[in-house]
Amino acid sequence: MKLTLRQNAIVSEIDRCGVVADIGCDHGQITLGIVLRDLCDKIIATDISPGSLEKTKRLFEEYGLLHKAEFRVCDGLDFETPVDVCIIAGMGGLNISGILNRARALPQKLVLQPMRDTQTVRDTLLTLSYKITRDFTVIDKGRKYDIITGIREKGIGNRKRTAPQTIPFSLTSVP
Ligand SMILES: C[S@@+](CC[C@H](N)C(=O)[O-])C[C@H]1O[C@@H](n2cnc3c(N)ncnc32)[C@H](O)[C@@H]1O
């Protein structure tokens, strides 16, 4: 299955790991792309819409890969299984921020692709003690998509930052 430039840029942010969750998987193309590249031991495909999740199930069935995924109808990260990397792509930034703020547990790494309100997503990542390690725009068929990767500081649990934040960008001094 050939991924679009946007989908490929999202998948490329994942290093091989144990468990990946694809929140709001819909058609399941990103989810399947991760499994076909053997980037994790297990993938959790979730969507708030049963009809959308069904599309992902059908795609995995078509590829004979149903055994490689768990399928869950749920709101965002409202499940117990620990996850190493979580993708939330193709939704508005306010929705993504809401999902992260309501999460039962947060993964060490997030790959986010908001359709709008990107700055709100960056602010939420920093508030939840993530360091933004990659932040770039991909142009796919003339449309721009922001992709943001965050890594969480260890030992934080679900605690939000209370100390002042350091914004992870460096300044180059001009002579
Ligand atoms: C436009 S699709 C994006 C599909 C895929 N992630 C991508 O980027 O190609 C957005 C999906 O997010 C789902 N969604 C919206 N809010 C959600 C939430 N709170 N929890 C889980 N899924 C959600 C929708 O049902 C829809 O299937």
At 145-156, the pLDDT tens digits run: 999 999 997 755
Reading phi first (left if > 0) and then psi (alpha if -120 to 50, else beta), residue 129 is in: left
What's the topology of domain 5-152? Rossmann fold (3.40.50)
Question: Is 80 exceeded by the pLDDT of residue 11?
Answer: yes
- Site to substitute for ligand 1 among 44, 46, 87, 91, most atoms within 8 A of C-beta: 91
Q: What DSSP assignment string belongs to 17-77?
A: EEEEEEET-TT-HHHHHHHHTT-EEEEEEEES-HHHHHHHHHHHHHTT-GGGEEEEE-STT
Tell me how far the alpha carbon of residue 91 lies from the centroid of ligand 1, in angstroms: 6
Is the confidence at residue 138, as pLDDT, over 60?
A: yes
**Whole-prediction pTM:** 0.91
CB 63 within 8 A of CB 41: no
Domain assignments of the chain as residue spans, ordered by start: 5-152
What are the structure tokens assigned to 61, written together? Answer: 């069935």
**Rounded CA separation 164/81 (Å):** 31
